[in-house]
Chains A and B, each alone.
Chain A
Amino acid sequence: MADEREVIVSVKNLKQYFNIGKPNEVKAVDDVSFDIYKGETFGLVGESGSGKSTTGRSIIRLYNPTDGHIFFNGQDISKIKAHGPKMKEFRREMQMIFQDPYASLNPRMKVKDIIAEGLDVHGLVKNEQERDARVRELLDMVNLNPEHMTRYPYEFSGGQRQRIGIARALAVDPQFIIADEPISALDVSIQAQVVNLMQDIQKKQGLTYLFIAHDLSMVKYISDRIAVMYRGKIVELADSNEIYNNPLHAYTQSLLSAIPVPDPEIEKKRTRIDFDHKSPFKDDQRLQEVLPGHFLYCSNEEAAKYKN
């Protein structure tokens, strides 16, 4: 049962506001709570501006959360100091893969130095030989030729660069990886390569992923559970099959109805469900479990309907 599984990341009432107190205050993440279980892939989907990337960045503490708590292996990491020893320790356990494989690799660094940066920071290798050996091992793990470790990023294609980004994240042997739209910038034929690779590595190393994306068919394929974000809130959270087969929130329904399918007959029959963006939230609503393992942002009255 879900409740018996070990929680690796627990987000409690996380709020991430920007420009606080100014007229242009943005509530990018507004009171979000969820648990991620050890070994699973947790998908976070939503449209641009929904706060999904901000949530990921707050969890890995690229921001100082405005309010709320983030527990990692039971330890509250929401308040640890940005440059302290605790942060360093924590960042070894949690790593990130970024969206743009062109912008996230330093063009002036050799691939081996990009990958080994984490090893150096954490003092994980004793000498040059050990460092090179580890880099070779990592390149091999992501199916890149270890002979290419002295090359620069520009010599690689987009898909290969994303593999370098993955190797860098894996270098420090983390438990948890946040992948922020890791395949959005890649071509269809390359996306499948990278997704397969991420899944192979997950099996081998027992990793947990937070997979942030807007491509819903890929998210369904890769995720065990999915949370749908809209305007800084999670509006629905459930097993991935449940979300797709039994979407309860009107926003989730509208999102699912808009996914293009590579099948002309299905496309011809498509009926899009429109979502009313005016005042989507009411004061008496909150995220609550309405069916086993299925959470919905709704009022108690609405929740009661599903419970019988």
Chain B
Amino acid sequence: MDKILEVKDLHVDFDTYNGTVHAIRGVNFHLNAGETLAIVGESGSGKSITVRSILQLLASNATIAKGEVLYHGDDLLQKSDKEMDKIRGNKISMIFQDPMTSLDPTMTIGKQVAEPLLIHNNVSKKDALKRAEEVLRLVGIPNPEARMNDYPHQFSGGQRQRIVIAIAIVDYPEILIADEPTTALDVTVQAQIIDLLRELQQKIGTSIIFITHDLGVVAGIADRVAVMYAGRFVEYGSVEDVFYNPQHPYTWGLLDSMPTLDTNENARLNSIPGTPPNLLDPPKGDAFAPRNAYAMQIDEEEQPPFFKVSKNHYAATWLLHPDAPKVTPPAAILNRYKKFEKLGGNAK
């Protein structure tokens, strides 16, 4: 498969009154053509900053300390703002979390959807508006011809998110970055938006980077999954690898702390104790160690490298080191391993 985007050794720092926050501490990943990569993690884990770095949409106190963002082999971090303008919203576009604040309240939606075309392509206003209408129909806005001149406040939350998606895809981008696009929405609307993204991917062949904290949503949309914690990836692999054969104790904790509809009401939920580390002063060893029941001496001292679990599946935990003692994951994870075997996999 073609790698259309590759992020190499990304480091992002933020200057704050309290000192420098090392928000991203060495992130590597790539995106294949036509796939959906989901990045999951808690708030503050750095998933939004990672994707905003791709488009250089970071706050003014942020610096990309190190790294490369290769788009078709071209390093985007070396490009000027002017050059980036040609890429943003055209080749790579972004959908933000909050449909209430990502639309201009004083501009009709027809104009807002047509805007990227007028900026990037040499098209007449008439053609751009015609195209906007088509795209609004594509994302499921009823009677788009009649609603082109309406303002955002005249639409519901779910419809507004559809409009935001329409703006993002009007130029048929190669890459669509969706940053928690369904978090602010109700479950039924969320399900519709996810169906829509899947459908659009098939129609226009866009590759998607999908950011979310909701593992249920990930299971439904992702081809590959990366789990992020304290500014680093801790595990990545195919959606089956990560959900049925997870290896990192943090992934175990995340999967285990969500009640499913089958969770016994009399059992206590398994929670991950404690809180994420302060990235003003990142820990020397594994950042998850203080919250990890399976932590060993070495976790305090040295950051674990990525260990290969299977083809395309990697996890950064010392538990995978050949000398590590054998541990038994939580019961719910063992059940997932059983499912993995049933699917023909070879669970560890």
List the interface of chain A (C-beta within 8 A of B).
47-48, 157-160, 187-193, 195-196, 199, 214, 216-218, 220-222, 240, 244, 254-255, 257-267, 270, 272, 275
Contact = CB atoms under 8 A, between A and B. Distances in A.
Given A191-B257, A267-B219, A275-B188, 9 more contacts: A160-B275, A188-B42, A188-B254, A217-B260, A261-B216, A262-B255, A263-B243, A264-B220, A272-B195
Nearest to B239: A264
Nearest to B268: A196
B216 A214 contact: no
B88 to A, nearest CB: 29
B259 A221 contact: yes
Interface string B21-62: 000000000000000000000110000000000000000000
B216 A262 contact: yes
Contacts of A216: 187
Contacts of B270: 192
Could you say which interface size class chain B belongs to? 35 or more
B265 to A, nearest CB: 6
B218 A262 contact: yes
Interface string B107-127: 000000000000000000000
Contact of B215 (A188, A192, A254, A255): A188
A260 B255 CA distance: 13
Interface in B217-258: 217-220, 239-240, 243-244, 253-255, 257-258
Contact of B214 (A48, A196, A222, A260): A260
Nearest to A217: B259
Contacts of B213: 187-188
Given A259-B216, A262-B243, A192 B188 contact: no
Contacts of B191: 257-258, 260, 272
Contacts of B240: 264
Interface in B325-348: 339, 343
Contacts of B195: 272
B293 to A, nearest CB: 13
List the 7 shortest-distance A-B pairs measured between CB atoms, nearest first: A260-B216, A192-B271, A267-B220, A189-B272, A47-B186, A221-B259, A262-B215
A134 to B, nearest CB: 26
Interface of B: 42-43, 157, 186-192, 194-195, 213-220, 239-240, 243-244, 253-255, 257-261, 263, 265, 268-273, 275, 339, 343
Nearest to B44: A187
16 contacts: A189-B253, A191-B271, A192-B270, A217-B259, A220-B259, A221-B263, A222-B265, A244-B261, A259-B187, A260-B214, A262-B216, A262-B219, A262-B255, A263-B219, A264-B244, A265-B343
A233 B41 CA distance: 36
A266 B215 CA distance: 13
Contact of B186 (A158, A159, A214): A214
Contacts of A47: 186-189
